[in-house]
């Protein structure tokens, strides 16, 4: 049976997940993620190329033209400060763009039609996604600075924040706490999942980074598979 023939459609109570726990199966998450990816492989590859290659290269070119001192410190020109602004702009918009992977995977998991424009629907959730990225980044960095282990714990525990914002319409803090409390019940399983996907993406780097066009969207689809298994899906949700 194909993974997509038996999606886990029933939404589950957050309280019961925290109280009673749940089973995890990393291999099934990866298999389900691959199944979701295959359904729109060309679209995922195209959006990944935009997200990972086109936008960063375009920003680098703009910085080189408008702020050459940021690229070549030996130049006699003073810095215009454009490069830091571009970096800030990239940080601000990247959560909404990253959410596109999750949004399309969620639609596919619910057996709904998708279009390429769905990859950009993350901007509908711009503020909560940005706040989630900002606050989680600060807390994770602080965790690493303190004892390293708290940073690793939080990096894993916040793994499902974006799907909770997108699919359950939670605010950023509620999504952060829900993800943390639920994942903590099976933290080592999610650590193993994250480590596996990290290694898969390392392999994707080998052929001039072109493998990332497959491994990056596979990672997002796999996290949606994990989300689907743990939380279930709300078919009434528009995402």
Per-residue pLDDT reduced to its tens digit, 86-139: 889 999 999 999 999 999 999 999 999 999 999 999 999 999 999 999 999 999
Q: Higher model confidence: residue 16 or residue 2?
A: 16
* Mean pLDDT confidence for 183-202: 98
pLDDT at 44: 98
pLDDT at 3: 45
The C-alpha angle with vertex 122 and arms to 227 and 112, in degrees rounded to 5, equals 60
**For residue 48, how many C-alpha atoms fall within 13 Å in the half-sphere facing its CB?**
22
Least confident of 32-41, 75-84, 155-164: 75-84
% of residues, the chain, pLDDT over 70: 90
Size (the chain), residues: 239
Are 3 and 31 in contact, with CB atoms under 8 Å apart? yes
CA distance 138 to 135: 5
pLDDT at 70: 64
Neighbouring CB atoms inside 10 A of 106's CB total 25
Q: Higher model confidence: residue 86 or residue 158?
A: 158
* CA proximity to 176, closest of 157, 161, 197: 161
pLDDT at 36: 98
pLDDT at 154: 97
* CA proximity to 99, closest of 69, 68, 121, 117: 121
Neighbouring CB atoms inside 10 A of 31's CB total 15
Alpha helices in the chain (DSSP H): 14-20, 26-39, 41-48, 55-66, 68-71, 82-109, 126-146, 149-157, 161-167, 172-184, 187-205, 212-231
The burial class, CB within 10 Å (0-12 / 13-18 / 19+), for 13 is: exposed
Rounded (10°) angle between helices 187-205 and 149-157 = 90
Q: Higher model confidence: residue 82 or residue 167?
A: 167
pLDDT level of residue 5 (50, 70, 90 thresholds):
very low
Whether pLDDT at 8 is above 60: no
Which two structure tokens, joined as six digits, stand for 35?
């199944």
pLDDT at 74: 61
* Mean pLDDT confidence for 136-162: 95
Least confident of 11-15, 103-107, 160-164, 173-177: 11-15
pTM: 0.90
Average pLDDT of every residue of the chain: 91
* Mean pLDDT confidence for 144-162: 95
Gyration radius (Cα) of the chain, Å: 19
pLDDT at 61: 87
CA distance 116 to 159: 25
């Amino acid at each position: 049976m194909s993974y997509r023939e038996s999606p886990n459609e029933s939404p589950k109570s957050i309280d019961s997940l925290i109280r009673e726990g749940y089973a995890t199966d990393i291999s099934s998450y990866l298999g389900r993620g691959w199944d979701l990816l295959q359904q729109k492989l060309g679209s995922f590859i195209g959006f990944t190329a935009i997200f990972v290659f086109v936008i960063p290269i375009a920003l680098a070119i703009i910085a080189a033209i408008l702020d050459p001192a940021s690229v070549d410190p030996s130049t006699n020109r003073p810095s215009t400060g454009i490069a830091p602004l571009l970096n800030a702009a990239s940080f601000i918009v990247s959560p909404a763009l990253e959410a596109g992977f999750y949004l399309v995977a969620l639609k596919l998991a619910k057996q709904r039609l998708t279009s390429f424009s769905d990859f950009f629907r993350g901007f509908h959730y711009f503020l909560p996604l940005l706040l989630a990225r900002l606050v989680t980044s600060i807390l994770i960095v602080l965790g690493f600075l303190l004892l390293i282990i708290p940073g690793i714990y939080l990096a894993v525990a916040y793994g499902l924040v974006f799907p909770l914002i997108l699919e359950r319409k939670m605010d950023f803090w509620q999504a952060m706490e829900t993800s943390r409390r639920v994942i903590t019940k099976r933290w080592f399983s999610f650590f193993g999942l994250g480590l596996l996907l990290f290694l898969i993406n390392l392999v994707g780097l080998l052929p001039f980074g072109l493998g990332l066009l497959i491994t990056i969207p596979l990672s997002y689809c796999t996290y949606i598979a994990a989300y689907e298994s743990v939380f279930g899906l709300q078919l009434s949700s528009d995402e």
